[in-house]
Structure 1
Amino acid sequence: MQFFDNLNTLKVITGILDLLIVWYVLYLVINAIKGTKAIQLLKGIFFILIGRSVSDLLDLTTTTRLFDFVLEWGFLAVIVIFQPELRRALEQLGRGSLFKRNTSHLKVDKKKLTGDMVKAVQYMAKRRIGALIVIEKETGLQDYIETGIPIYASISSELLINIFIPNTPLHDGAMIIQGDKIATAASYLPLSDSSKIQKSLGTRHRAAIGLSEVSDAFTVVVSEETGAISVTYNGRLRKDVSLEVFEALLTEHWFSAHLDKKGVTDNAGN
């Protein structure tokens, strides 16, 4: 009798261990694809699974077969489409970087960040120094970050300006900001092929629009021809914005709930 009790206890322990392993593997997978477009795919998969369950519950035969077909061939499509993300996840697993915790939760000052950005953009606009600055929001930009030169430095107006000084190694391409850090410089962005874009707009504007078409990022463009300040977000381009409008849009898009979760405060003393 005691043998069977011990056997049942062992089954419970192994069952719990099995669940913990599965949840930990899922945690590692989510960490691996976090910051990439693949996270949007994960949301789509959850939607398909929920739709499959609802259609089966309501006995919607044709809809259920459609969901089954998508699930059957979707796995192969995921491997083909997201091969770079899968490769990166395996590389991170090999380096052990999947097991590292993110400890970047230091509080910073919203007013200082905004002031530094506005000061830098104003300086570059007056001197017609071309610039392309991307602020990451909810959609991860890791794919584009990996095309640039890693910086991972605190934001200051001097550093922002210095990176875009002409004829320096980092002035071409985009600077990408994650939270309150400059993640990378000289990154490549997807160019928009929209026929609605004016012919007079250059590569920086097309890259900014192109990124806004595939993500929710907020992008700042300073024209080196005119010194005009433009911004893009949600597939929309706003040209020739004033410093006041730029500052308002910057605050609206940069200091969203996504960034506030990382410990950003209105004042450094708070």
Structure 2
Amino acid sequence: MLGWMRNFIDNYTHGMYFPKIQIMDIIEILIITVIVYEIMLWIKNTKAWMLLRGIIMLGVFILVAWIFQMHTILFLAAQSINVLAIAAVVVFQPELRRALEKLGEKNILNSINPFDKNRDNERFSDETADSIVRACYEMGSVCTGALIVVEQAIRLNEYEMTGIELDCKVSSQVLINIFEHNTPLHDGAVIIRGDRITSATCYLPLSDNMSISKDLGTRHRAALGMSEVCDALVIVVSEETGLVSAAMGGRLTRGIKREELREMLSQIQYRKSEQKRFTIRKGWRRR
């Protein structure tokens, strides 16, 4: 029986080449798989998906031109490739920058990057989180508009430069006073790093997402736009309704409760490498 099976395998595999697979080949395949997976996620979650669709359509058009030997079209396409590549880099510069920033957030890089070691003491305390929540809902009760950015891994230095430097400890009284009507600092956003307010009256990028509700004002569009270009948690207090909303990762959650906002702050309070020491709480509800 064994001899018959051996002859059967030899007959059907005769002349076939089976490469010798080594451990480095497996590691290389895994690395390429992860890279391709990350690229596909980036394409799916950004405007690059529209670019990919356009490239596919252009490729089909060029294939048809090649089949029917349309020499002029093929010549123009060959001459335009370099120009289109440079144009794509310019047009999608924000998305490419975001992709590189996401790469820098990975734990494998943070663990070997000596320049990130001083970031450990910049995670905010429970007192800071409670102060942010208290200030937001006290301002919401009297319909005082507010825009608060809580920094995470990505530095927001370029946005801090658009405002006024404060460098003061976070407290509910300070936040309420900043956003009080007719005060010099009430217009714009506040940026919080660790337990300190770094800047006020900061300008944030507005979202160009056409699917968001038309009744959203500039604060909400700025919060959503900021969450699209960085990993920060952006909190908005509506001046019209007093409702508290939060944006993170390009998603805006409107009308959240006090407990939900506190839960959001708890989930970003510690670095990813430290979260294993703490209980992972249930995610917040989206409306």
TM-score, scaled to structure 1: 0.56
Report what 1:216 is aligned to: 231
Matches within 5 A, 1:78-227: 110-227=125-242
Instruction: State the SS of the aligned residue for 2:263.
Output: helix
**Structure 2 CA distance, aligned partners of 1:112 and 1:148?**
25
Partners of 2:204 and 2:121 lie apart in 1 by 29
Structure number with bigger Rg: 2
Contact kept, 8 Å, 2:122 with 2:193, in 1: the verdict is no
Residue 234 in structure 1 maps to residue 234 in structure 2: no
Q: How many residues align?
A: 171
CA distance in 2 between counterparts of 1:130 and 1:222 reads 5
Matches of residues 48-87 of structure 1 in structure 2 within 5 Å? none
- Separation of aligned partners in 2, 1:181 and 1:219: 16
1:60-91: CA deviation from partner (whole Å, max 9, x where unpaired): xxxxxxxxxx9xx99xx89xx89xxxxxxxxx
What's the CA shift for 1:170?
0.4
CA–CA distance in structure 1, aligned partners of residues 142 and 269 of structure 2: 25
Please tell me whether the aligned partners of residues 149 and 185 of structure 1 are also in contact (alpha carbons under 8 angstroms). Answer: yes
Cα shift at 1:253 = 2.0
Q: Structure 2 CA distance, aligned partners of 1:106 and 1:125?
A: 31
Contact 1:135 1:254 in 2 (8 A): no
1:134/1:220 contact within 8 Å kept: yes
SS state of the match for residue 200, structure 1? coil
Residue identity (%)? 43
Contact 2:124–2:195 (8 Å) recurs in 1: no
Q: How many Å separate the matches in 2 of 1:228 and 1:111?
A: 23
Name the SS of the counterpart of 1:254 in structure 2.
Answer: coil
Task: Confirm or deny: 8 A CA contact 1:132 1:220 kept in the other structure.
Answer: yes
2:31 is aligned to: none
> Can you list the C-alpha shifts for 1:176-225, whole angstroms capped at 9, x where unaligned?
01111101000000001111111100000000010111111100000010
**Unmatched segments (≥5 aa) in structure 1:** 1-69, 83-101, 266-270
After superposition, the C-alpha distances for 1:136-163 in whole angstroms (9 at most, x for unaligned) are 1111211101000001111111101110
RMSD: 3.2
Establish whether residue 255 from structure 1 lines up as the match of residue 255 from structure 2. no
Q: Aligned partners of 1:245, 1:167: CA distance in 2, in Å?
A: 30
CA distance in 2, matches of 1:140, 1:131: 21
Stretches of structure 2 that go unaligned for 5 or more consecutive residues are 1-81, 95-116, 279-287
Displacement after TM superposition at 1:251 (Å)? 1.3
Distance in 2, matches of 1:155 and 1:105, equals 18
Q: State the structure with bigger RCO (CA 8 A, min sep 6), 1 or 2.
A: 1
Q: Return the letter of the residue paired with 1:232.
A: A
Separation in structure 1 between the aligned mates of residue 124 and residue 202 of structure 2, nearest angstrom: 26
Q: Distance in 2 between matches of 1:252 and 1:106?
A: 17
Amino acid at match of 1:220: I
